[in-house]
Every structure is written in structure tokens, then in C-alpha cells.
Structure 1
Amino acid sequence: MTMHPQATPLSVPARPELTGGRRVGVLLSHGFTGQPASVKPWGEHLAALGYAVEVPRLPGHGTTWQEMNRTTWVDWYGELTRVFDRLCLDNDAVVVGGLSMGGALSLLLAAEHPDRVSGVVVVNPAVATKRVDVKLLPVLKHVLPSMPGIVDDIKKEGVTEHGYPRVPLRAAATMFGAWPALTRELSKVTAPLLYFRSTVDHVVDELSEPLITGSVSSRDVSVVRLEDSYHVATLDNDAPTIFAGTASFVARVTTA
């Protein structure tokens, strides 16, 4: 297995002397066919403020789409859960978040562990789609190993997320297949939710936002519009807004 040079996970311990004496952890997940590079700057910004930050590499990502086709939603969520459990052991409070599929996985963590998640931050999360070809995946995955994908949906010129240019269909089928169960769990999310949404997104359509915000039980929900970014907003023109907004949110929801 050859790993992309940008796919190395990020792991930074807490510096409680910068966060009022409390050890606060933040877990950030990249999206489907992406890799840690897409959210590392986000994590590095938070780490500089003293937060423990974990940006894992989900199985099958950052190598080849062929390898990813041998992994599933269960594998990706399992890795995120493993890192989450470790963060919880080492810190007084933990906030979870992610980009695209990473946001969906974070919402599932918050639903299954409401007593251990202090807050959730999502950027263009995906839990539903209008695409009709998704319904054909159970058949297509046996006929085609992959299809062309949308990578680098970034408005800012000269920036890349280092994702796969092709969508591994067997892996994709497990993600789309997991969405119905995930959406049924959204009502169990009680933690404060910060939702960043690009006004122009060529990957995730408009179905996910009302489904998420209308289903969670969180009483503290904020939606921030990103007017100058596309899907991979964590690397785009509005990245500073995401970074600063997340820092303020984490500080607020983890105050003892």
C-alpha cells in the first residue's frame, strides 16, 4: 500500500494552559474519497489555540480508489469511533466535526454518544441526495468498479484536496445505503450544532440541510452561509470563517 504524502493523519495533544486549564479535544473527519489534507488546516488552526486535535485517515482513503473499494461505511465509522474513544479518555470535553461524509459520520457519533459529545461542527454534510443514479448502485457496483467523480470542487484557484478522481462504486453503495439508518438516528443528536453551508456546492445538493436541521433535537443550532466557496470549503475562500467560527463555538460549548 502506497499512501499519498498528504494523507498523514494529524494528532496534536491538548495544551490546557491555553484553554483555561481544561483539556478539550476536537475530532475532524475528511469526506468520501478525500483524505486528511482537506481538513488539516482546520485542525491546525484549532491545535494552535491549545485544543487536542485528531484528523484520522479513514480506511481506503489517501491510497487508491481500488483499495477504497474494499472498505465500507462500517470501516470508516469504526476508525472514527476508535479515535473518538481515545480523545474522550484523554480530555475533559470533546467536539466532533467533519466535511461532507465526515460531517455525516460526526452526526452519527453525536447520535450514538450524546453524553460524550459537547458539540458538532459540520461543513456541507451529506445524508441525502436527489441523484437518481444512486438507486442503481446496488446493480452498477457489480458491473462497473468505478465512475468519474467530482474532485476539487473549490472556487479558490490553485488549490487541491488530493482526492480520488474516480468514485469506487462498491464503497459508495455502502455510504448511500447507510443514510436511511443515519437519518433515523438524527433525533438523538442533542449537542449544540454549528452548520456551515456553501451557497454553491456541486457535490452535495440542498436536500441534506433541512433534513438535518429539522431532525436533530439540539436546541442550539446555528447555520452559517459560505458565499465564496464551493464544496471543499475548508480549503476555499471561506476557510477563515470556518476556522474562526469553529474556535468560538468550541470555546463556548466546552466551558465548564
Structure 2
Amino acid sequence: MKVFTAICLILCLTVACSKEPAITEDMLDGGTLFDPSLYQPEKYLVSRAIPTPTPAQANTPVIIACHGYTATTFEWDEFRTWLGNRTDVYLSQVLLGGHGRTYEEFKKSTWRDWQEAITAEYERLEKAGYKNISLLGSSTSGPLLLELVSSGYFTRHLPPRNFILVDPIVIPSDKTLSLVPLLGPMLGYIDTKQSAQEDKVYYHFRPQETLQQLQKLLTLVRRDLEKGISLPAGSRLTVYKAKQDPAADPISAVLIYKGVKLSTGGPPDVQLIDSDRHVFTRLQFVEGVTEKDYKTQKDTFAAILAQALAP
């Protein structure tokens, strides 16, 4: 018992845990700032902007971009800016369920709530007649998308043309996450210590309830990868993984490579990126960004676009 207590104390000191967070109105958690897609969904979701597409529009590639845990649609804003006013591809930026709202709403959400926002947009596009859809996921959206495949979701729906994952997390770099199911109630929450600018678009505090949900999702997906996941016929999978990732252990890419097969039996395309940033495609508000970082970001954006436009 003494050892257990000591571990709890050390963990709490390490991750700055407490029972009640000190939330201010300047934070996304504070109940004043919300993700803009909640106010103007037509600016973020193709299904809302073009609910009744022409035949030409229905054949235009659509990329559904899904962000990571504690993030918002902001995570893919730079990709939208990079795309500019292109008309040969559409972009939907999905806000995961429970995210972009109050701290309490986030705290109550489950990983299935997070995932439901992805399937909701997918099914609206499918129902409207869109025929060429790619799914782009960063960080936690990686396992959310893999779980959709392993659960058989796409046996009942139009198969995506592409699954494109940026820094998907299967194994966390911070191994203390594995202790959350045991120590969660004692943790309360984790203070991210992020910048004031990031506080407006990412949750500053990580409730232990949501960390437990994340752990449940990752455990489930790891088991699915061990059993083997087969992509739908005609779907491709590409993984872009930073070599030195402070959030998602690079071994995540290895597990995906070994655990996922194309319908033809071949392996997915896994590319290791020379970066030490998590979700290296998001550089706004990041400290110490270099010209190399910007080039890596733009090169990856170009590769994502090429995949979406490929037949």
C-alpha cells in the first residue's frame, strides 16, 4: 500500500493533477469560447454547404478531416488555407463529439461520442450522393477510424477512397496513460501547460474521465490490430508518422503496418517523417517552427491532396 501511495503522489506531482481545474473565460474550457463550426457548420461541412450536389459535384473528391483528442477543427485550418479556393476537391472539417464545447460536456463524452461526429458527416455525404470520399485523421482520430473499419462499419456504407492518418496514436509516448484506469479518480485532471493562444482552440485541462475513454479506445484498437484489420475493397491507407513524437510513440506506425492489410492482402503505405512534433501538419501557435517544418507540412499537404485526387 505504501508503494501504491508513493506512485500516486509521484504521478500527481508529475502531471500536475487536482480535483477541480482553474478555468477562465479565455479558455476553450471556460464556457464562453466554442468551436466556430458549431455556429456556422456550412463553412466547415460539405454536407451543409452543398446538401444537394449536382452530378459533377457528387463526383468531386471530398476529404473529411478529423482532429485529435482535446483539439478542435482548428487542427486542420492550415490545410484549408493551403487548399485555397480550389474547386476540384472539397474539405469537411469535423468537430469530434464532446469537443469544442464546455469542459463539462467534454468531461461527459465517450470515445463513441467523439467518433459519432465522423460517421454523421460521412452518412450525410453518402445520402446526398457523394461518391468519392477520403478520411483524413490526426492523432486520436487515427484509432477512431481504424475502429470503424474493424467493427465492420464500411460493410454497410460506401467504402472510402482513402484513409490518411497523420501521427495516429496506438501506443502513447507517455506511458502513465496506462495507469489512468487505476488512478483516474485520484488524478482528477491533467494540466497541459499549453500557451494562452492554444487555450482558445484546445482544452487546457484533460479530465481523467476522458483519459479513461482514450485508454479504452487504444486498448480496443491494439487488440483489433493483433487480430488483423482488413480494409474495404478499393480503399487505401497511408500513414504519415513523425519519427520523434512526444505524444504518439512511433511504434504506433509499426503496429498499424503489421496489423492492417489492403483487401488485396498487401500492406498499407507507412511513411516515417523527419519531425519531432506531434501532428506536424499543425504549426500555428507552435514555438520554434523552422523552415524545414514548413516544408514538411506543405509536402504532406501536397501528398494528401494527390491521394484524394488519384483515381
Task: Decide whether the 8 Å contact of 1:33 with 1:65 is kept in 2.
Answer: no
RMSD over aligned CA atoms reads: 2.9
TM-score where L is the length of structure 1: 0.83
| Deviation string, structure 1 residues 46-66 (Cα, Å, up to 9, x no partner) | 872432322121122223434
2:45 aligned with 1:11, yes or no? yes
Counterpart for residue 101 of structure 1? 140
Partner of 1:234, secondary structure, is coil
2:103 aligned with 1:65, yes or no? yes
2:109 aligned with 1:76, yes or no? no
Partner of 2:187, secondary structure, is coil
> Following the alignment from structure 2 to structure 1, what is the Cα–Cα distance between the partners of residues 199 and 303?
23
Q: CA deviation at 1:118?
A: 1.6
Q: Which residue of the other structure, out of 124, 141, 147, is the alignment partner of 2:184? A: 141
Partner of 2:121, secondary structure, is helix
Instruction: Give 5+ residue unaligned stretches, structure 1.
Output: 153-157
> CA 1:135–1:220 in structure 2 vs 1: closer, same or farther (change >3 Å)?
closer
Structure 1 stretch displaced more, 122-131 or 3-12? 3-12
Aligned runs of 1:95-174 on 2, under 5 Å?
Answer: 95-111=134-150, 112=152, 113=154, 116-129=159-172, 131-149=174-192, 151=194, 162-174=201-213
> CA 1:132–1:232 in structure 2 vs 1: closer, same or farther (change >3 Å)?
closer
Greater helix fraction, Structure 1 or Structure 2: 2
Amino acid at match of 1:241: D
> CA 1:100–1:130 in structure 2 vs 1: closer, same or farther (change >3 Å)?
closer
> Following the alignment from structure 2 to structure 1, what is the Cα–Cα distance between the partners of residues 68 and 251?
18
Q: CA deviation at 1:3?
A: 3.7
Task: Decide whether the 8 Å contact of 1:66 with 1:168 is kept in 2.
Answer: no
Partner of 1:32, secondary structure, is coil
2:44 aligned with 1:34, yes or no? no
Q: CA deviation at 1:83?
A: 1.1
> CA 1:174–1:134 in structure 2 vs 1: closer, same or farther (change >3 Å)?
same
Q: Which residue of the other structure, out of 286, 291, 299, is the alignment partner of 1:241? A: 299
Counterpart for residue 61 of structure 2? 24
Amino acid at match of 1:120: F
Instruction: Give 5+ residue unaligned stretches, structure 2.
Output: 1-30, 284-293
Structure 1 stretch displaced more, 97-106 or 127-136? 127-136
Q: CA deviation at 1:109?
A: 2.9
The aligned length equals 247
Counterpart for residue 51 of structure 1? 89
> Following the alignment from structure 1 to structure 2, what is the Cα–Cα distance between the partners of residues 188 and 100?
21
Counterpart for residue 155 of structure 1? none
2:284 aligned with 1:226, yes or no? no
Q: Identical aligned pairs, as a percentage?
A: 20
Partner of 1:58, secondary structure, is coil
- Aligned structure 1 segments of 4 or more residues deviating by more than 4 angstroms: 5-9, 13-19, 158-161
> Following the alignment from structure 2 to structure 1, what is the Cα–Cα distance between the partners of residues 271 and 192?
27
Task: Decide whether the 8 Å contact of 2:45 with 2:121 is kept in 1.
Answer: no
TM-score where L is the length of structure 2: 0.69
Larger radius of gyration between Structure 1 and Structure 2: 2
Structure 1 stretch displaced more, 100-109 or 75-84? 100-109
Structure 1 stretch displaced more, 140-149 or 7-16? 7-16
> CA 1:247–1:150 in structure 2 vs 1: closer, same or farther (change >3 Å)?
farther
> CA 1:50–1:11 in structure 2 vs 1: closer, same or farther (change >3 Å)?
farther
> CA 1:195–1:136 in structure 2 vs 1: closer, same or farther (change >3 Å)?
same
> Following the alignment from structure 2 to structure 1, what is the Cα–Cα distance between the partners of residues 87 and 35?
26
